[in-house]
Amino acid sequence: MKQTWRWFGPSDAISIAEIRQTGASGIVSALHNILPGQAWSVDDIKTRQREIEGPDDAPTGLNWDVVESVPVSEAIKGQTGPVQEHFEAYRQSLRNLAECGIRTVCYNFMPVLDWTRTDLRYPLANGGNAMRFDLVDFIAFDCFILCRYGAAEEYSAEIVAQAQERFAKLGDAGAQALADNVVAGLPGANDRWSLSEVQERLDAYREVTADALRGNLIDFLSEVVPTAEELGLRLCCHPDDPPFALLGLPRVMSTQSDYAAVLDAVESPASGATFCTGSLGVVQDFDPVAFIEALGDRIHFVHLRNTLRDGVSDGDRHCFSEAEHLAGDTDMIATIRALMAEEKRRRTAGRTDHEIPMRPDHGHALLADHERPVQPGYPLIGRMRGLAELRGAMAALA
Ligand code: DNO
């Protein structure tokens, strides 16, 4: 697999010069300043490419391999407002990316929020920090801070009672910190929204069922995949994170069968999956090897990350923390072995995309990471440790 590294652009506290020292050989980036629904211009794409590649007389040796993400607008996800304009802008971004030689484009189809955690600095026994999702805290946020209409009915009475007790102990500062963690503009999230804005966006989806949202995703793909296919581009959908319904919002990309349904509906090599073990792995019966064996030929991008279910559950919703890359609930070695077997199948079939780009997704904040403000989940040393462990596993399996 090609070992890539996510770089948020010139505002990222970690520089390209530092990334060169991690051993990564490719870059994942996006034009985060361009709003969903607007087209990315060739000029803007080329500027980012130059920032990554360095000047001609001192090239960094790194290229922009994967776009994560060209975000899908709320208009497209909810099918309201300027949907046709946004489809056209998306197609234009794809044309412009292809013109600049970039072929792999990640996106997600989670309405309103991107990834969600309740604690961005959960202390580990070794002195590091991890990100964590505590279901009881989350329900405390949903029922008693956001006070979402009808929220309590979506959970069991026992867990709502636990959440109420938790909320009573939080105090004003604790409640504010929890709310900030949940709705803060995490990397990839569209914006930084206040609680009342979150509520407004949630209201927009009140009538949207999971089937309707899946229909909107399939419509989106029907609109943009033919263009991607013509251009030789690979779109890949990131799973829901966490992979269960939150805040009453429908979720449609949480499991292998969700992927099978959407990939079958628009049959094209240009429509594929971002295989994120960290997100999918929170589901109790996630089987990474079965997923790769069934849908591997449509996996265009891989996020290797591990999670550990580490607390109470309520139906299919769980507490989890982000584990070391080789520890946690997902058998990372079996996963890598299966992905490498998929690469071998592609080489035998003569596919040009036989080297699948992967990145170490998230990492614990370790050592000097504590002194440096970075995007939550994206510290230098923790990710470098993850990449080094994954690289070792790949070398051994090869
Ligand atoms: C979190 C990331 C997500 C991801 C988007 C893809 O660290 O995995 O923000 O980039 O969901 O569209």
**330-375 tens-digit pLDDT:** 999 999 999 999 999 999 999 999 999 999 999 999 999 999 988 8
> Could you confirm whether 318 is annotated as catalytic?
no
pLDDT attached to residue 185: 52
Q: Rounded to whole angstroms, how far apart are CA atoms 258 and 240? A: 10
35 burial (CB, 10 Å; 0-12 / 13-18 / 19+) is exposed
Per-10-residue mean pLDDT of the chain, 398 residues long, equals 97 97 98 95 98 97 98 95 98 98 98 91 96 98 95 97 98 93 60 78 92 98 98 98 95 98 98 98 98 98 98 98 98 98 98 98 97 92 98 98
Read out DSSP for 273-315? Answer: EEEEHHHHTTSTT--HHHHHHHHGGGEEEEEE-EEEEEEEEET
Residue nearest (by alpha carbon) to ligand 1 atom 4: 188
Q: Rounded to whole angstroms, how far apart are CA atoms 16 and 56? A: 15
Residues whose beta carbon lies within 6 Å of some atom of ligand 1: 68-69, 106-108, 114-115, 187-188, 238, 303, 361-362, 377
pLDDT attached to residue 45: 98
For the chain, give the number of residues.
Answer: 398
Pocket test for ligand 1, best of 31, 66, 108, 240 (most atoms within 8 A of CB): 108
pLDDT attached to residue 188: 42
**Which residues of the chain are in CATH 3.20.20.150 domains?**
2-116+208-308+325-397
For the domain made up of 2-116+208-308+325-397, the CATH class stated in words is: alpha beta
> Could you confirm whether 354 is annotated as catalytic?
no
Calculate how far, in angstroms, residue 94's C-alpha sits from the geometric centre of ligand 1: 19
pLDDT attached to residue 191: 58
